[in-house]
Amino acid sequence: MKTVIIGGVAGGASAAARLRRLDEKAEIVVLERGEYVSFANCGLPYYIGGAITNRDHLTLQTPAGFKARFCIDVRVQSEAVKIDPEAKTVTVKDLKTGESYFESYDNLILSPGAEPVKPDFDGVEGGNVFTLRNIPDTLKIKGYIDSAKPKTAVVIGGGYIGVEMAENLKEAGLDVAVVELADHLIAPLDFDMAADVHRYIKSKGIKLYLNNGVRGIEGDRVVLQKGSVPADLVILSVGVRPETALARECGIETDRRGSILVNRKMQTNLPGIYAVGDAIQVEHFIHKSPAFLALAGPANKQGRIAADNIAGIPSEYTGTQGSSVLKLFDMTVAATGLSEAGAKAAGIDYDKAYIYSASHASYYPGGTNMSVKALWDRKTLQIIGAQIVGFDGVDKRMDVLATAIRLGGKITDLTELELCYAPPFGSAKDPVNMLGFVAENVVSGRVKQFFWHDVEGLPRDGSATLLDVRTATEVGRGKIDGFVNIPLDSLRERMGEIPKGKAVYVHCHSGLRSYLACCILQGNGYECYNLAGGWRLYESVIHERTVPEYVCTECK
């Protein structure tokens, strides 16, 4: 049996290696249009920023390496230009010689990936404008920085690649700005969790232009809907689209986006043809509807599954949940499953909880707090999404939550997880456990919540009591209008100041002391509501909603 694989990198390369492990006698040919068959595309920004100094470290495997270890025929600079499903052949153009030839197959795996979207505005073809997809793109950007010595850079698009590029351009010594059409960076996050990211990235000297689109690029300036920004260097990072023209031309079915339609065995509608990676439509693991999620981990798994089925091993892909993590200087941002926007779009009746917990025991030096948010289905209690923004230990907690989602865990199951503990690594009540404790209190009705977006609409006419249980020192640093301060430790002796028969809305810094206040008040006959996430979350969100936009003093 002969299998031809079009495209390498994550999906194609993993399919080739897996198929060889399963079948020593199989004939395997990999066709790769570029110069590199397997490279660390997620590591490309870090070569530009200088964290990776040896370009050879970006190459994970070479054609010679594939041949020596796996006896796989890898042909780089070989572009598949036509597929004939009836004859079971691929027309291949050798980009080094310009000659074409036919390659036959018994099974064909398509792994063409996704290409960066180039927006439809003037200036995108300028010599100082770049996209980032592969090693040649990386070398062009690095070469331009080294030769042209740009001082200012604008990244258009605030997704994962855009934010990573902003960090690495800053590390390379440039004055950097990010322009994003939406109201926040990193689409898998909700605005309330992105607010911490905004404040942090600005503290590192990177300018943000949110809710602001690009009209065009004019030489060394990016013209925005509101103002303009100097840009000796421009990175386009507005998203990707599946590169599937070859598949469509031979009759393979795609969706409106252009993503190849496959079943759970990674089979297309044409016999003997499979597809994997960023070019395919996937099933979202949570809501089971079609989705487009371009991630390296799923691509590797899909390549493995396609190889299994070709080798006669029944194997199915059960969906993508969108687990992702981002390094931003010293900050870590992670998400899995659905955001609130995603849950609403899917029509899921959900609830949510926030915590603000230390990465390890507070008495052990070096601990930092992380902001954690989780969503769950009100009916089933199953976890449907989580987001964490912090520093140390974020990836560890997100991996636990992603695993819980994959295994169908309920939000209340988090209370029972037995996680590793020692003071340098965690707490006896790990943040994941604490998230479960908070949610369990909500689910059981022991605690009623209100949220940062409810604060403005709270009654301030005396029909309810608004209570701040932080210390006077904390209140001096900032407060919410209309809230009366009674510190938690004085609450019992000053309870007479709180009228009976009226709802009490309580907040503290993070939500913990206000929870304790609610326990005290409810035990004395009051109806109490706790501000989820506390003052810290509220202030972060409101600050980012009200802070003035950057105004370029040089703008025309």
Catalytic residues: 42
Measured between alpha carbons, how far is 504 from 42 in angstroms, rounded to an integer? 49
Measured between alpha carbons, how far is 268 from 109 in angstroms, rounded to an integer? 10
Measured between alpha carbons, how far is 411 from 353 in angstroms, rounded to an integer? 10
Per the DSSP assignment, residues forming a β-bridge with 242 are: 114
Q: What angle do CA 200, 403, 347 make, to 5 degrees?
A: 80
H/E stretch holding 239? none
User: What region, left, alpha or beta, does residue 91 occupy, with left being phi > 0 and alpha being psi -120 to 50 degrees?
Assistant: beta
Please give the DSSP secondary-structure letter assigned to residue 258.
-
The 3-class SS string of 310-360 reads HCCCCCCCCCECCCEEEEECCEEEEEEECCHHHHHHCCCCEEEEEEEEECC
Measured between alpha carbons, how far is 282 from 279 in angstroms, rounded to an integer? 10
Torsion (CA) 511, 515, 518, 522 in degrees, nearest 10: 150
Measured between alpha carbons, how far is 433 from 201 in angstroms, rounded to an integer? 29
Cα–Cα nearest to 107, from 300, 275, 299, 301: 275
Beta sheet of 73-76, edge-to-edge order: 73-76, 27-32, 2-6, 107-110, 273-275
Measured between alpha carbons, how far is 79 from 94 in angstroms, rounded to an integer? 7
Per the DSSP assignment, residues forming a β-bridge with 369 are: 358
Residue 119 CB neighbours (<10 A): 16
Measured between alpha carbons, how far is 358 from 426 in angstroms, rounded to an integer? 8
Torsion (CA) 210, 181, 191, 455 in degrees, nearest 10: 70
Tell how strand 38-39 and strand 59-61 pair up: antiparallel
Q: What angle do CA 100, 272, 258 make, to 5 degrees?
A: 75
